[in-house]
Copies of this chain bind each other. A is one copy, B any other.
Amino acid sequence: MITLKNTGNDVFIDGGVCAAKGFKASGVYCGIKDNPTKKYDICMVVSDVLCNAAAVYTLNKVKGAPITVTKKNLEKTGGKAKAIIANSKNANTCNADGEEKAYKMCCLTAEALGIKPEEVIVASTGVIGQILPIEPIEKAMNPLTEKLSYNGNEEAATAIMTTDTVKKEVAVEFKLGDKVCHLGGMAKGSGMIHPNMATTLNFITTDAAISSEMLQKALSEIVKVTYNCLSVDGDTSTNDMVCVMANALAGNNEITAENSDFEVFKKALFTVMMNMTRMLAKDGEGATKLLECNVSGADNLDTAITVAKSVIRSPLLKCAMFGSDANWGRILCAVGYADAEFDINKVDVSISSAAGKIDVCKNGAGIEFSEDIAKTVLTEDEITIDISIGNGNGSATAWGCDLTYDYVKINGDYRS
């Protein structure tokens, strides 16, 4: 398991998507695909009251049908939602009847809960281009609603897993005025992960009161420096989505402008999303190591992001990290082909982990270091690469993982 990263005085709590007041969840196995282990494959999340909601979606031209339907729903309601229905094992993407089926999922959920279909956020993840069977989903409605519970977060988090090896949940507690608020979420994603607006499926809930507009603003800002700085394999999925639902049950004054409460809220959102990003990276398909690349000294944020992402994406570096090989030339190579402006002769690189730190490159050229210490540093399972590219104030972090035999194994025969 990953050690949660505390950015200050974060108070981590249990509960994931049910950590905030008034959110119930459930998960069941309905049989979308034959599965002898009967791993849960569909989940429901419901708020006791109507929520303000915001979402960001994949930028892939091929968009899963659920993305299209969720987008339409949120437009129709003006950013309101009450429930989430999400399945794994089938992405419902590139199917002629995809939108129809995705909307049908909303209707079934709405009927089961006595709400409107457009108040439902729908998501699917799994294989692309296979017809989604609707019968198992129809039959799942009763057990899903019956099992709904304020402690159902683990069931739900399990149900959205595909090749994930661990479920991913983070939640924090924070204060707005004198009101205690909660924000938590669950995520799935292991392969087909590369930054481009909302990687993977992520559902976040909060009991803070915040307008849909400010919620969207916070989400768009934070996703840029968290999920969008994550790369497992450079493949931008067709079904990526992050959505946040805020039900206001904490009773704070509603956030409707960029005030100090908004900053506090964004910090909580950042902590949850950043740690979920780290979880997603560490559980990348076949991964044995979490890689974190910090770029500083850039002229601006975008340059720092571009360079950090270029390094994290390099297959050669990822292989070297798997082999615990301090082949820093590959880091510099990936810095060099990043599409950004900076002076390559001012680049310094160091590599660190819980076992220590080594400087490997100064002013764009190699410097001597102990290969023994390097090996010790790189044998750890959480590796940090620090890169300074100049004297500017721009800095950013990107997250990824090593490239291993198991990545090839998992993806050489994923469908069967």
A contact set with B: CB distance below 8 Å: 59-63, 91, 93-96, 127-130, 191-192, 194, 196, 233-238, 313-316, 319-320, 322-323, 325, 327-330, 332-338, 344, 361, 364-366, 403-405, 407-416
B411 and A404: CB pair below 8 A? no
Given pairs A94-B365, A127-B329, A234-B234, 4 additional interface contacts (CB within 8 A)? A95-B365, A235-B333, A238-B333, A320-B412
Q: Number of copies of this chain in the oligomer?
A: 2
Residues of chain B contacted by A404 (CB below 8 angstroms)? 408
11 A–B pairs (Cβ distance < 8 Å), ordered by A = A62-B337, A196-B337, A235-B333, A235-B334, A236-B336, A237-B333, A238-B333, A315-B407, A325-B413, A325-B415, A327-B414
Contact at B323–A366, with CB atoms within 8 Å?
no
Assess the B59–A328 pair: CB atoms within 8 A: no
What is the bound-complex CA distance between A236 and B411, given in angstroms? 24
CB proximity of A278 to chain B, nearest CB, Å: 21
The residues of B that contact A332 with a CB separation of less than 8 Å are 62, 94, 128-129, 238
Cβ contact within 8 Å between B319 and A412: yes
**A408:B365 contact, CB within 8 angstroms:** no
CB distance from A247 to the nearest CB of B (A): 34
A258 smallest CB distance to B (angstroms) = 32
> Which of chain B's residues have a CB closer than 8 A to the CB of A62?
332-333, 335-337, 344, 364
Q: In this complex, what residue of B is CB-closest to A194?
A: B337
Give the 10 A-B residue pairs with the shortest CB-CB distance, closest first. Answer: A128-B329, A62-B336, A323-B412, A319-B411, A129-B366, A61-B336, A236-B337, A129-B329, A60-B336, A323-B413
**Chain B neighbourhood of A329, CB < 8 A:** 91, 93-94, 127-129, 238
User: Do B403 and A327 touch across chains, with their CB atoms under 8 A apart?
Assistant: no
| Chain B: minimal CB distance from A105 (Å) | 19
How many angstroms between the C-alpha atoms of A192 and B320 in the bound complex?
13
Residue of B nearest to A329 (CB): B128
Known: A235-B316, A315-B315, A325-B414. A333 touches B364 (CB 8 A): no
Docked CA distance A85–B96 (Å): 58
CA distance A405 to B234 in the complex (A): 18
Across-interface contacts of A191 in B (CB, < 8 A): 316
Most B Cβ at <10 Å: residue of A91, A316, A323, A414: A316
